Amino acid sequence: MKHTNYVAYYRVSTSKQGQTGLGMQAQQQAITDFLHHHGGKLVAEFTEVGSGKKADRPEFEKAVDYAHLANAVLLVAKLDRLSRDLHFITELQKKGIRFKLADFPDIDQLTIHILAAMAQHEAQMISQRTKAALRAARTRGVTLGNPQLDTYRNHNPQLATLARTTAQREWRQKIIKVIHHIQQLQPQITSVGIAKTLNQRGLSSYRNKPFTGSIVSRLLRQQ
């Protein structure tokens, strides 16, 4: 049975807490207990020092990017380590960012749904009304959509190339952040060692192949 990969995100409010470990021990213990009871593999850990109200949270962004690349779930000790701001929490859901709370594993499915219920209900009603209108239009014989769309897609290779290169660039930016994180933890690590670490953590190249030292070296040259 395949285990779920998790990326742990810890946040302490002050630099003193970050230096002394105050607050960190409880968070780490909550993560450990969660994995013990629910299973799964911890593939990376990120620690933020700063207020949850701050918009600039680089370690959180790294954790999200890593989780996306590793097809992993973001794991935090409790909800306020992410944020107490409902807008921030619901934005995670809108972006499709999967997360679990160690102290309340179902909160991302239960509490967020309750808090966002009215907004979601309204969105569903709009969607239903739109679909009903489209069905009625088709019944009347109205041609929907852009009739030139297929032609445009099939005869615009430049657009397809642009989309592909954009996706590759975004992937490269994310994986470089992960590589830098590994280098910070192990300053003397080689490209081969980085490749091995990436593979062990469930990551793969842009073409879904295992990483090699040459791939890592090329990525570092291109950054």
Residue 31: which of 63, 8, 3, 11 has the closest Cα?
Answer: 8
Label residue 118 exposed, middle or buried (CB < 10 Å: 0-12, 13-18, 19+): exposed
Q: Using CA atoms, how far apart are residues 202 and 220, in angstroms rounded to an integer?
A: 20
| Residue 123 within any structural domain of the chain | no
Residues 159, 214, single domain; the answer is yes
Domain boundary among 109, 133, 160: 109
Asked if residues 3 and 32 have their Cβ atoms less than 8 Å apart, the reply is no
Tell me, yes or no, whether 115 lies in a domain.
no
CATH number at residue 50: 3.40.50.1390
Q: Are residues 11 and 67 in the same domain?
A: yes
Phi, psi of 12 (to 5 degrees): -115, 150
Shared domain for 13 and 92, answered yes or no, is yes
Query: Is the pLDDT higher at 38 or at 148?
Result: 38
Q: Cα–Cα distance between 210 and 194 in angstroms, integer?
A: 12
The tens digit of pLDDT for each residue in 42-67 reads 999 999 988 766 667 889 999 999 99
The domain of 202 spans 151-222
Q: Is 141 in a helix, a strand, or coil?
A: coil
Q: Which of 85, 109, 133 is the last residue of a domain?
A: 109
Helices and strands (H, E) in the chain, number of each type: 11, 4
For the chain, what is the domain count?
A: 2
- Compute CA distances 144 → 130, 148, 151, whole Å: 13, 11, 16
Residue 150's pLDDT band, with cuts at 50, 70 and 90, is low
Whether 122 is in a domain gets the answer no
Judge if 10 and 71 occupy the same domain.
Answer: yes
Q: Are residues 27 and 101 in the same domain?
A: yes
**Is residue 134, in this structure, part of any structural domain at all?**
no
Beta strand 73-76 with 41-49: parallel, antiparallel or unpaired? unpaired
Q: Summarize pLDDT for 107-139 with one digit per residue, the tens.
A: 655 565 564 444 445 556 776 777 777 777 777
Residue 131 resides in a domain:
no
Task: Tell me the DSSP string of 83-118.
Answer: -S-HHHHHHHHHTT--EEETT-TTTTTTHHHHHTHH
The answer, yes or no, to whether residue 84 has pLDDT greater than 80, is no
Of the three residues 109, 143, 171, the one that is the final residue of a domain is 109
What pLDDT is stored for residue 97 in this prediction? Answer: 84
Residue 36 Cα distances to 4, 31, 33, 63, 102, angstroms: 13, 9, 5, 21, 11
98 and 158 housed in the same domain: no
The reply to whether 31 falls in a domain is yes
101/167 same-domain check: no
Residue 62 shares a structural domain with residue 11 = yes
Residues 156 and 89 grouped into a single domain = no
Kindly state whether residues 181 and 90 are assigned to the same domain: no
pLDDT category of residue 22 using cuts at 50, 70 and 90 = low
Asked if residue 102 has pLDDT above 60, the reply is: yes
**pTM value?**
0.61
The answer to the question of residue 187 being in a domain is yes
Write the pLDDT tens digit of every residue in 153-198.
Answer: 555 677 777 778 888 888 888 899 889 888 988 889 999 999 998 9
Strand-strand pairing, 73-76 and 5-12: parallel
Q: Is residue 63 part of a domain?
A: yes
